[in-house]
Structure 1
Amino acid sequence: MKKIGILALSLLIQATFAQTNRFVYQVTMKPDAGNKNDIKTENAYLDISAEKSMFYSENRLKRDSIMQKNFQSGGARSFNREQMEGLRSNINYSIEKDKKYQKTFYRDRLGRDQYSYEEDRALTWKIFPETTKIGEYKVQKAETDFGGRKWTAWFTTDLPYQDGPYKFSGLPGLIVKAEDSQGDYSFDLMKNYKISEFPTMSQFGNVIKVKRSDFVKQQEKFKTDPMSFMTQGGGGGLRMGNGGQGGQNQGDMRKRMEERVKDEAKRNSNPIELK
């Protein structure tokens, strides 16, 4: 009986650690440098297991779910574009942290492909003795300079995770709040609960692994020539028709795409990372 009890306890402990914990952050952003009164707010998830964590937009998960159901029930005929527009996100990236190897991977879409890079800059924190309380958690102050911004974070040791939203990690506790010195971006922990497993993210197009510096270059190229990213391989040239209706349609498509990307670039002229 004693052995059975120990086995049951062992299985219970394993099941507990095998679970994934979801932390919901409210992300507040001022992405338009020319209009700081245009404040965007949305939720993002930080899902944490013993092996890794994932940070991504709540709206992305909802969009993925709708698209999956759409594909299963008749494709474009049942596609609700208004619903999808309502789920547009300013958090188009996802970030995975590998706990074992202490690596952080950033993934974002450019055109039809997804680009992935390993973060090559270390986070160096300065921890202060100052403490306060945020919600139910006792928190302590820390600061870091990252991506051209000075960040203040408040972390708690009440939760057994050395992690946080976005690329932030490396403190002796979970980050409950992080905000840059300009007040342009902030992450605030709202709630947490357990989920059975990490959700499956939709993977459209190829995943192209690059260095961070190369991704930044590709990102700038996408802003000026988005249509070159709409062919297989990403960043390649797009052959346009020279005449007839096909050529005209492709010309119209290029113009609409360029206008949309330029509009998005203007609305996202104050990115979370300035350098």
Structure 2
Amino acid sequence: MRKFLFFFLTVVFFQVSFGQNIEFIYELVYRPNVDDEKTNKEYFSLLYDTDQQQSYFKNITGLEENWASKNEIGFNTQVFKNFKENKFYLLDKVLSKFYKNDFKKINNWLLTNDSKYILNHKTYQAKIASGGRNWVAWYSAEIPFADGPYKFNGLPGLIFEITDTENNYSFKLVQILKSNKNIILPNYTSLNDDDLKKLKKKTLENPSSNLMLAINQMKGNNMGFSVTFDNKNIDEKEMAEQLDKEIKDFNKTFNNPIEIGDVWLK
């Protein structure tokens, strides 16, 4: 009778507490440079729509005082998951545009009996190899969403922590909030994985090529433009040189992407 009562109260609790959207705030500590032990800290929102069984993961560093960071924001990949329709995709930002890249639901976890308490919830350990890294996760069935930070999903409960075994990336749940926010995705272009990698490599080789193409199109349409940098007007050549330098300098510092072999762009 006690077990049944506990089960009944638990179900009622989740119906009341999670009858609206929930926002899970994760802290990410990671090494942006493979040759440097220095770490960056950034914050992310995992907004979960309980009715539609969808979630949206994005960087929120600096949007509130509690989520501030002293380092340059580097992790700009967004993730959308639709558990009802079994659709999952990354939204990768290349310069100012987002590109959609589908991925499959993750279901090859190795579950263990190890457990520990995180934020007053009992969590269990799970392991997986993904993106060229080995990961150790801690999840809790007390929050019955098979979701987690970044693309991680498919466990019998929410992921509270997940860290790769070489401590390059570590996500930790730090806050759970009721939310009236809705999932709104940015405009994007769909590309398969191979074409997206080609685009990233091409962009890294010549970051300003698309910019110059757009400028030439504006000129052809008799459209004027001007650009200000450091409070002074610069011409298109200076603008292209500045963009090339900025992107390549970024890539020198941010050369340890979460998916090994990927190209990391600002």
Alignment match, 1:255: 241
- Aligned to 1:274, which of 236, 257, 260? 260
| Aligned counterparts of 1:20 and 1:121: Cα–Cα separation in 2 | 22
SS in 2 for 1:124: coil
The alpha-carbon deviation at position 91 of structure 1 amounts to: 2.2
SS in 1 for 2:198: helix
Alignment match, 1:224: 205
The alpha-carbon deviation at position 180 of structure 1 amounts to: 0.3
Alignment match, 2:155: 171
Q: Check whether the contact 2:137–2:160 (CA below 8 A) recurs between aligned residues.
A: yes
Q: Check whether the contact 1:108–1:114 (CA below 8 A) recurs between aligned residues.
A: yes
1:145 aligns with 2:129: yes
1:155-166 matches, within 5 Å, as: 155-166=139-150
Matched positions, count: 230
Alignment match, 1:109: 93
The alpha-carbon deviation at position 112 of structure 1 amounts to: 3.2
In structure 2, give the amino acid aligned to 1:198. Answer: N
1:39 aligns with 2:39: yes
TM-score, normalised with respect to structure 1: 0.75
| Aligned counterparts of 1:162 and 1:117: Cα–Cα separation in 2 | 21
Counting aligned pairs with the same residue, the percent is: 26
Alpha-carbon distance change, 175 to 107 in structure 1, aligned in 2, over 3 angstroms: same
What does the per-residue CA deviation read over 1:104-159, in whole Å, with 9 as the maximum and x for residues that have no partner?
Answer: 11112212321111114745111111112223111111111000000000111111
The alpha-carbon deviation at position 101 of structure 1 amounts to: 1.7
| Aligned counterparts of 1:34 and 1:87: Cα–Cα separation in 2 | 17
1:195 aligns with 2:179: yes
The alpha-carbon deviation at position 228 of structure 1 amounts to: 2.2
In structure 1, give the amino acid aligned to 2:192. Answer: K
The alpha-carbon deviation at position 25 of structure 1 amounts to: 0.8
The alpha-carbon deviation at position 268 of structure 1 amounts to: 1.0
The alpha-carbon deviation at position 93 of structure 1 amounts to: 1.5
Alpha-carbon distance change, 18 to 197 in structure 1, aligned in 2, over 3 angstroms: farther
The alpha-carbon deviation at position 24 of structure 1 amounts to: 0.8
Q: Which has the higher helix share?
A: 1
- Aligned to 1:265, which of 214, 227, 251? 251
What does the per-residue CA deviation read over 1:5-33, in whole Å, with 9 as the maximum and x for residues that have no partner?
Answer: xxxxxxxx988655110111110010111
Q: Check whether the contact 2:31–2:169 (CA below 8 A) recurs between aligned residues.
A: yes
Unmatched runs of 5 consecutive residues or more in structure 2: 1-13, 220-225, 227-233, 262-266
Alignment match, 2:23: 22
Alpha-carbon distance change, 168 to 195 in structure 1, aligned in 2, over 3 angstroms: same
The alpha-carbon deviation at position 229 of structure 1 amounts to: 3.2
SS in 1 for 2:58: strand
| Aligned counterparts of 2:140 and 2:106: Cα–Cα separation in 1 | 21
Alignment match, 2:56: 54
Q: Check whether the contact 1:19–1:195 (CA below 8 A) recurs between aligned residues.
A: yes
Name the Cα RMSD after superposition. Answer: 2.9
SS in 1 for 2:137: strand
In structure 2, give the amino acid aligned to 1:112. Answer: S
In structure 1, give the amino acid aligned to 2:101. Answer: Y
Unmatched runs of 5 consecutive residues or more in structure 1: 1-12, 63-83
1:215 aligns with 2:215: no
| Aligned counterparts of 1:104 and 1:61: Cα–Cα separation in 2 | 26
